[in-house]
Structure 1
Amino acid sequence: MDVLAATAGRGAATMGPVVAQSSTMVGRDAELTQLAASLGVRPPRPGDALVDVLLSGDAGVGKTRLLRALRDLAVGEGWQVFAGHCLDFGDSALPYLPFSEVLGRLATERPDAVDAVARSHPALARLLPVRRQLSGTGPIDSPGDDNSVESSALDRADLFRAMLAVLEAAARQAPLLLVIEDTHWADQSTRDMLSFLLSRLDSAGFAVVASYRSDDLHRRHPLRRQVAEWSRLRGVERISLSPLDDDAVRDLVRQLVPGGLPEQEMADVVARAEGNAFFVEELVSAAAEPGTFVPADLADVLLVRLDRLDDDARRVVRTASASGRRVTHDMLVATADMPTQALDDGLRGAVEMNVLVADRGAYAFRHALLGEAVYDDLLPGERAQLHGRYVAALREGTARGTAAELARHARLAMDSATALTASVRAGQEASAVGGPDEAAYHYQQALELLSSSADLGDHGVNLSKLVVKAADALTAAGDPERAVAVVAEQLERLESEGADVPDEWRARMLSAQAAALYITETDADATLLSARAVELSPEGESALRARTLSIHAKILVAYGRYDEAEIVGLEALALAEKLDLGELASDVVTTLSTLKRTGPKEGLRAALTEAVDRAAASDAVHAELRARYLLGRSYEDWAEFDDAETWFTSGIERAQDAGLPWAPYGFESRWQLAWIHLVRGEWDTALDLFVVEGPFPPPIQRAMLQSMRLQILQARGKDVANRVAGLRPFWRRDGSVAIHAAAIEMIAAGRRGDPSGAVASYDHAVDVLGRIWHEWFSARIRLAAVALGVVADAMPRSSAAEREALLPVVERLQDDGRVVLDRYTDPAGHWGPEGRAWTQRLDAEALRARWLAGGEQAEQVGLEPLVAAWREAERLFAEFGHVHELAIVRTRLAGILRAGGDPAGARVLGDQAREAARALGAQPLLDDLTALGSTAPPSSGGTASADLTAREREILGHVAQGRTNGEIAKLLFISTKTVSVHVSNILAKLGASGRTEAAAIARRRHLID
């Protein structure tokens, strides 16, 4: 229902005493004023910033009525208002539905703007409502499914930009208000589009308000997390609509019943309605006739209105309820099975009784709760029959609708054959508009239906292609684990049924399984699957063979089998070029480029740069993302962080533009860039990368980001023990989570004086990573060094017996690291700066532990070798560039020097470590320095203002207001990195340990208002 174009109760008829439907808003003047001012519909108060609004409230509390009042106010101020509605399709997702509705109205009212944008952004046409209707019964399996790396068309960049452009174009004619209602029913793609628009704060001329039911947002509801992410964006405000107070409820009752109600009935309505405007109307309506019994159950209260309808109106309403909240007139004609006059009379009665509301050739329930109550009142057989009529109407073309709608009605009508083909078409439609989550859902629905069919060829669906479609969509949505499982389930089912499966089917499915498997953490050998897929693929000029060869070459590279990869890759490239498979050829070129890693790094980088250019030219987005990521890794491995940042940033932006932030290599670029910022001490910039302008991350990606985020919080003194414990289930699913989380656990154990707990975390991480990787993985050196550091710290506090028990642990941890070093062989035959630094740290921590154990152990170590080991660790960590770890090394070396009788040398190192710790806000490190007895020089009382530049004072003001580096960068039109540098300088000049302390100092010294 278009609540911004219809007024409930207009022309309402009543029975018995006069019971009007209130068209006047009651008790919401303050909320309307706040909403209008925030959006800029009415001039805001001095100092207010214009924002987009998230409007929440319980079902029936008055969100729609408030938005209707906002619509009237906006139109009166010369604004355009366009509304889109998310509908409760249950298990049938239709991506971008509200934006299709908005675009349809724009095409009618602003055709010039839509046409102009469509010429430069052809993807816009995909969202036009007429393009999303069912048309024809062509093949549901495309012959070109094997021609690309991912067969689903999932690049959403142009689609997102097109929607933004058309809103801006329309807004140039007059200010525009975009309303998206009922986002608790929104599909993932709609939420992604909203994220994109809400994050584009520089877009001029239009404002956004999105409403949702707060009582529907249970803990696992996807919108719950999304709202939290939106709320962190600058310029997004949340307004919660509370229940009406008792006086407002009484005012509403007096409007509904001009003659008034007896006080006892009035008090009963006030008590039972609990401030919910819709419940007030229904309770008053139910009690309108003298002696009327008002049911105790809310659903029965809602159905009282249905009972007052005549037979024709009741039949119309029940038929409409099977459609959801909204139904077109053509659909009712096709499904109600009523003579024309009876249908018209029934519709008029339903509208006059305020059950349905007429709106632009369609009808909608006055409130979703009313439609839900009517549908729930139907018997199971009645529901199935009604959905069967909808299936017939959609399939025969007597009424228009989408493939997703047909799939939903067919499933509810128990029509499996129709549901199968409709689900496949719905998946294709979702892919075509860049909705990977919705596409994956529909394809999996089709697979479930197909699995129950005894004859796989009954419905013209190629099972193997359907499986690949589902796997590709799941991978693009950031869930390769599920992709692997889907393929495995289908292969196992075929095996158990003894089905006669063509070799091409097996080749296609095995190749898809291997492609998803090699980007997950598993002990399964993906090369065996991809090799078997090549064996089963047809010989000669086959697109399927080219694809299986391409995937096999990529996996061989990942397993370090470079000679084989080159042979397979060259065959794949020749075949792809012969068959003119441009996207697939670009992916193979990227694979072949990585083979140059065994030679000089310059050769690898030149080859990958060419691969990026080729992939971009052929619009092979996945190949381009992989090449950009691999270039970033090449520079990162050599600690050339500036160049690495450039390539990782370009990968993030490309993935974001394509609407694939969680797909392989797009997310990995974000992860690696965050790690670089962590290493360089740009912690606030790293934290900014954990907040994504787009869809909420899938579970594994969320765990990866959380593990790195918790490292920063822990280093700043936060107690993260409970949160890091929650990451344990993800250790086996992604090794990087295990590495970072184990380090956090070990440090936490050290802070509570529990060296055995730290060693237990180390052992568990080694066990997990040994299973999914191999026993002597390279990061084991870092984990052993961290564990050794905790053991060394515990030595002075331990008894002689405890120290004696810890010494074998020291030996074991150091030996573990040395075995890794002896066994590890990388393609370039070298350890990079990071590996060299942690290897030296391992040996230095082992010496420190023995030295702190005292007695004979200390004498064997000797002070001079101990200092030399830590000096070398300092040099290597400085070369590596890890700011925080370098400060830790200097702090420990300072403690050794002070204990060894060199206070001057200890003071120099302590001052260097303190400067870094203050810039980072690393309070635990500052506490360690204080414990050493090396105190900081006193700061000046009030002269720091002279040391701050004008730009630093400006940034300090924003810091004091709680803005992040990313938000400040957008406000000042500078890079986030530049802001980070300024903030670090400010903290150093003020002698502050963090942003909060800097703000306090600034206010105390009157450096800011």
Structure 2
Amino acid sequence: MASDVDTAPLVGRADIVTTVRSALLDDVAQGHTAAVFLTGESGVGKTRLLREVSARLRDGGALVLTGSCLDIGDASPLHPLLQALRRFDAELTGSHARTSSAVRSLLQMFADETAGPDGAGALLERVSRGLHLIAEGRPLVLVLDDLQWVDRSTRQLLLYLLAGLGDLQLSVLAAVRAESLQGAHPLRRVLTELRRLRTVRVLDLAPLDRAGTDQLAAAVVGRPLTPEAAELVWQRSGGNPFVVEELARDLRDGRDGLSDTLREIFLARVDALPQPAHAVVHAVAAGVEPVEHWLLARVTRLPEDELIEAVRAAVAHRLLVGADEGYRLRHRLVAEVLEHELLPAERAALHRRYAEALTSAPAELHQARLAHHWRLAGEPARALPAAMAAAREAERLHGWAEAHRHWSVALQLAGSPGVGPLDVDRVTLLEHAAEAAHHCGEHARALALLEELADADRPACALHIRRARYLAAAGRSAPAEAEYQRALRAPDCTPRERATAAAHLAELLLHLGRYADAGRRAREALELSAAVEGSTSEVVLASAALGFSEAYLEDPDAGLAVMRRALETAERSGRPEDVACAYLHLAELLTGPLNVLEEGVVVARRGAERVAELGLGRTYETRLLAIATNGLFRVGQWAEAEKVVAAALRHRPSGADAVELLLARCRLSVGYGDIEAADRDLDAVATVLAGGGARHVIPLLTLRAGLAMWQGRHDLARQAVQRGLTESRSDDVGILAALVWHGLRAEAEAHASRTIAVDETAVRRLREVADRVARKSEHAARPVRDVVDGFLALCAAEVSRLDGSDPELWARSVTEWDRRHHPYPAAYSRLRQAEALLARRSRSATAAKLLRQAYQVAQGLGAVPLTSEIRTLAGRARVSLEERSVAGAPATGPGGDELGALTAREREVLAAVAEGLTNREIGQRLFISERTIGVHVSHIFDKLQVRTRVQASAIFLRNRAG
């Protein structure tokens, strides 16, 4: 079952192609025979693999004859061989007269006597002699497709030749449809006999794994699929390449539903089953997988022996998969196809049998499955309590995505005919559904459900608090703050609600960077909580905010102690959001203002693992991984940071969670010089940040300015910085100092490039802000002042570029960033110090040393734009950036390792290049953009001093072999 035209790449089969080629060509002794029989279900790619291996064998000098068997029994003896000979004869040219004569002689022999007067033995001997003449001493490979339909004469020929009776070096490559080899099929006996020969191998071709499925679908569609689409293709196809291609074409062409081609193929396979097996497949298709054996027996009502035989037949036909936990469909498409083959009454009856069987076996009761079957049986009143029970069970296990789904089902059921108003309180269902949506990251859905609650007779204060929490999670900070203020002013606000509102408001102010305000609200929340019994969550939130505020503004040690106690309290309470919040603020403080990067990354990753256990993977885990990414970026572990952010993005975060992660990824893209990817992330963040605060907006604009400078758009960089200076207030002098540096750098770059005039007013304003930042930082904790001092050193040095760059100021900046172990700004400062020394025509040896140091760091990070600037300056100054042991040879690492100069990520990319993958395929494997892969490949070429992928691959393979 192959596509008519193989437009999609051969995915996930590289190893088996190599194995088959070696078995048929390299591992066969002169004058011996060998065979490989490929088995597998329809559409798994057997025919495509035959074509690929045939091409490899021809390239290796073999003579390849290809033919296919026909589904007409023994009516056409030796048909595949005849077909192969005719195809081969048609391909021969005038220069192959001798070979053509031998082919036509053999074809004439078939025409004269297919059976032959001397019996089958004589025929087989003549065929063998004829093939020997055609081969002319070359290895001969007979490739046969659809061998399950092989005729008796061809079966005899295979046995004769592979037994070594033909005095011919022959290899056979054949594909067999596994589901056809049932019962007493004659080919089963032939394969059994052939397996005894040492040179015969039978290989089962398995479906693609998830990565291969995603790669193939993306190749057909022409772009990576969305996570939802990729998951759907995987679930429906089961990794079958033919099905993957069909589904992907439908996606590409915008077709909905199931194609007629797929529908007819699967219907034909089901119709070929014996009647009991047919009933079994229908039953499993209607069930919730895996379907246990006892449950299937009750639903099908078949006797045990008959049921086992029916299941065995369905498994043999590759429609079912059996395991200890129960039965599954090999392809979920079977369920879609069969859904339309039953009458509505038949489908309802099947689901009723499932529900009754589950109800009668309480030890096996699964509320979610029970709700599913009662609902599809047309019994909403019986499905509703099961759906609610399933939702509560999911909440108990912190499965918030599942809980949201079950509460949504319960809401639908509550409005169904036959469900009375007294059966359930719809307001309660709305509250539960909204809270579950909030916890699993569906913030827009949570807000929409809350709007329905607004019409209900509920306390105003509680509603304000809920709406504020959901708005904050969606990234809409300004309206969230206003809602908390309304809650605190509401006349019906209870002491507990007042404590809750104050604690959450303190946390929000912390996220906005207003640390002094956050500290005041946190103290207020702690005072209110002291008068309320059981207010653990409020204490945790307020303590985390207070600790952060104190650590930033006053005493780092005291603030850290408060935050660690908050984490201990949260862990004792066990409430997921409390634990997550405590980890989040502790990791933020360590990796941010306090600059304890290594410990902060460890805390962030440990917290991410912990909150994932608590069911908050899509929300708090992604935020913690974003913090880890930022910490890794600052210490120069960019390749590791890239892996972390890619892993986090698989959760498909939304709202503020997505903002944190996209900003983290954008920092990497700006550093790498991946302008397109960075621009796309910044646009996405700007869209989400409607109503966002300075904490996110200022980093966004800082990145926008940095990106614009790498593009040579100093006017755009200036605009971004000026806008950032007018944003809402923040106590975070660190992010403001970084913004000011980018503004002064933009003016210095404009001066150096002479593309636009320096804006003296902007320079004056930026210097005033820098002075204000310096004064404000004097009141901050020592670690905060240290970070700010590093940026202020950069600011002073950038100002000096406007009237003759001062190398001493750049040397001070180098010292500041080296002391804090931030390699990127330190490398940038070395570049500028060298530039200043060379401009003054002094200490050229020192400048050369600085350039080499900066180049080594930039190369190790993968910072392409910075590397390019260093290389440009070194070229003008005639400075050699790399020591070479042999003229023209690339520098090697310790022990002569030619790959020693590559980063960990570059090694991964080079390994994939050596496999022959394209940039798009590598990007899909490593979960990064195709453009970023192109940047890495260029960087690899530069470090290895090569010009082609083949040369780079040769170096990789040589070092791996060594």
TM-score, normalized by the shorter chain, greater than 0.5? yes
Q: 1:446: how far off?
A: 3.5
Equivalent residue runs for 1:290-689 within 5 Å: 299-300=263-264, 302-303=266-267, 321-323=285-287, 368-378=332-342, 383=347, 387=351, 402-412=366-376, 416-447=380-411, 458-461=422-425, 463-464=427-428, 467-468=431-432, 470-472=434-436, 474-475=438-439, 477=440, 479=441, 482-483=442-443, 485-495=444-454, 498-501=455-458, 503=459, 507-530=461-484, 533=487, 551=504, 554-555=507-508, 560-573=517-530, 575-576=532-533, 579=534, 589-591=543-545, 593-594=547-548, 596-597=550-551, 598-620=553-575, 622-636=577-591, 637-655=593-611, 660-664=616-620, 666-689=621-644
Deviates more, 1:581-590 or 1:785-794: 581-590
**Deviation sequence 1:732-753 (CA, Å, 0-9, x none):** 4367776566555544443443
Matching residue within 858, 863, 871 for 1:927: 871
Q: 1:687: how far off?
A: 3.1
Q: Give 3-state SS (helix, strand or coil) of 1:728's partner.
A: helix
Please give the alpha-carbon distance, in whole angstroms, between the structure 2 residues aligned to 1:957 and 1:872.
30
Equivalent residue runs for 1:727-766 within 5 Å: 727-733=682-688, 742-743=701-702, 745-762=704-721
Amino acid at match of 1:927: R
**Deviation sequence 1:686-716 (CA, Å, 0-9, x none):** 3343353995452565664454445445545
In the other structure, the counterpart of 1:833 is: 786
**Deviation sequence 1:844-863 (CA, Å, 0-9, x none):** 43442x43xxxxxxxxxxx5
Determine what percentage of the aligned residue pairs are the same residue: 20
Q: 1:549: how far off?
A: 6.4
Please give the alpha-carbon distance, in whole angstroms, between the structure 2 residues aligned to 1:334 and 1:719.
59
Please give the alpha-carbon distance, in whole angstroms, between the structure 2 residues aligned to 1:875 and 1:609.
32
Q: 1:452: how far off?
A: 8.3
**Deviation sequence 1:35-85 (CA, Å, 0-9, x none):** 9999xxxxxx9xxxxxxxxxx99985389xx9xxxxxxxxxxxxxxxxxxx
Number of equivalences: 703
Please give the alpha-carbon distance, in whole angstroms, between the structure 2 residues aligned to 1:547 and 1:763.
37
Deviates more, 1:734-743 or 1:437-446: 734-743
CA contact (8 A) 1:638 1:832 kept: no
**Deviation sequence 1:378-433 (CA, Å, 0-9, x none):** 45676567656655665677996532223334554565555544333333333344
Check 1:992–1:803 CA distance in 2 against 1; reply closer, same or farther (3 A cut): same
In the other structure, the counterpart of 2:227 is: 222
Equivalent residue runs for 1:10-409 within 5 Å: 61=44, 211=209, 220=225, 222=227, 299-300=263-264, 302-303=266-267, 321-323=285-287, 368-378=332-342, 383=347, 387=351, 402-409=366-373
Check 1:582–1:465 CA distance in 2 against 1; reply closer, same or farther (3 A cut): farther
In the other structure, the counterpart of 2:830 is: 890
Please give the alpha-carbon distance, in whole angstroms, between the structure 2 residues aligned to 1:947 and 1:722.
32
Equivalent residue runs for 1:608-1007 within 5 Å: 608-620=563-575, 622-636=577-591, 637-655=593-611, 660-664=616-620, 666-692=621-647, 696-698=651-653, 704-705=660-661, 707-712=663-668, 714-716=670-672, 718-733=673-688, 742-743=701-702, 745-762=704-721, 770=727, 779-798=735-754, 802-803=756-757, 806-808=759-761, 810-811=763-764, 832-848=785-801, 850-851=802-803, 863=804, 870=810, 872-904=812-844, 906-907=847-848, 909-922=850-863, 923-933=867-877, 935-936=879-880, 939-941=883-885, 962=907
Please give the alpha-carbon distance, in whole angstroms, between the structure 2 residues aligned to 1:763 and 1:654.
41
Please give the alpha-carbon distance, in whole angstroms, between the structure 2 residues aligned to 1:638 and 1:320.
58
In the other structure, the counterpart of 1:192 is: none
Amino acid at match of 2:883: S
Please give the alpha-carbon distance, in whole angstroms, between the structure 2 residues aligned to 1:706 and 1:881.
24
Q: 1:471: how far off?
A: 2.8
Check 1:695–1:571 CA distance in 2 against 1; reply closer, same or farther (3 A cut): same
Please give the alpha-carbon distance, in whole angstroms, between the structure 1 residues aligned to 2:941 and 2:309.
71
Q: 1:935: how far off?
A: 0.8
Check 1:951–1:669 CA distance in 2 against 1; reply closer, same or farther (3 A cut): farther
Check 1:640–1:570 CA distance in 2 against 1; reply closer, same or farther (3 A cut): same
In the other structure, the counterpart of 1:115 is: none
Please give the alpha-carbon distance, in whole angstroms, between the structure 1 residues aligned to 2:448 and 2:735.
34
Q: Give 3-state SS (helix, strand or coil) of 2:561's partner.
A: helix
**Deviation sequence 1:850-908 (CA, Å, 0-9, x none):** 43xxxxxxxxxxx58x5565455445444544322122223223323332343446456
**Deviation sequence 1:812-844 (CA, Å, 0-9, x none):** 655666677788998769963333333443454
Task: Identify the structure with bigger relative contact order (alpha carbons < 8 Å, sequence gap 6+).
Answer: 1
Please give the alpha-carbon distance, in whole angstroms, between the structure 2 residues aligned to 1:228 and 1:869.
58
CA contact (8 A) 2:277 2:310 kept: yes
Q: 1:933: how far off?
A: 1.1
Larger radius of gyration: 2
Q: Give 3-state SS (helix, strand or coil) of 2:757's partner.
A: helix
Amino acid at match of 2:476: T
**Deviation sequence 1:750-787 (CA, Å, 0-9, x none):** 344332343355467678xx37x779986354234324
Please give the alpha-carbon distance, in whole angstroms, between the structure 2 residues aligned to 1:566 and 1:924.
51
Please give the alpha-carbon distance, in whole angstroms, between the structure 2 residues aligned to 1:644 and 1:362.
45
Q: 1:621: how far off?
A: 5.3
TM-score (norm 1): 0.55
**Deviation sequence 1:550-591 (CA, Å, 0-9, x none):** 545645666524334323223325534xx4x76776556545
Check 1:299–1:821 CA distance in 2 against 1; reply closer, same or farther (3 A cut): same
Please give the alpha-carbon distance, in whole angstroms, between the structure 2 residues aligned to 1:837 and 1:961.
30
Amino acid at match of 1:883: P
Q: Give 3-state SS (helix, strand or coil) of 2:478's partner.
A: coil
CA contact (8 A) 1:335 1:386 kept: yes
Please give the alpha-carbon distance, in whole angstroms, between the structure 1 residues aligned to 2:847 and 2:281.
84
Check 1:725–1:653 CA distance in 2 against 1; reply closer, same or farther (3 A cut): closer
Q: 1:728: how far off?
A: 0.7
Q: 1:519: how far off?
A: 4.8
Check 1:630–1:964 CA distance in 2 against 1; reply closer, same or farther (3 A cut): farther
CA contact (8 A) 1:334 1:399 kept: no
Q: 1:436: how far off?
A: 3.0
Q: 1:493: how far off?
A: 2.0
CA contact (8 A) 1:894 1:910 kept: yes
CA contact (8 A) 2:488 2:501 kept: yes
Q: 1:349: how far off?
A: 8.6
Q: Give 3-state SS (helix, strand or coil) of 1:690's partner.
A: helix
Check 1:752–1:318 CA distance in 2 against 1; reply closer, same or farther (3 A cut): closer
In the other structure, the counterpart of 1:268 is: none
Please give the alpha-carbon distance, in whole angstroms, between the structure 2 residues aligned to 1:1003 and 1:318.
52
**Structure 2 unpaired stretches of 5+:** 1-9, 21-26, 28-38, 50-205, 247-258, 913-938, 947-951
Please give the alpha-carbon distance, in whole angstroms, between the structure 1 residues aligned to 2:940 and 2:16.
38
**Deviation sequence 1:303-324 (CA, Å, 0-9, x none):** 4677799999988876665436
CA contact (8 A) 1:844 1:869 kept: yes
Q: 1:939: how far off?
A: 1.8
**Deviation sequence 1:483-517 (CA, Å, 0-9, x none):** 3x34432332233xx4333x2xx555543443344
**Structure 1 unpaired stretches of 5+:** 1-27, 39-44, 46-55, 67-207, 230-238, 245-271, 273-294, 852-862, 968-990
Please give the alpha-carbon distance, in whole angstroms, between the structure 2 residues aligned to 1:493 and 1:529.
17
Check 1:845–1:500 CA distance in 2 against 1; reply closer, same or farther (3 A cut): same
Amino acid at match of 1:443: W
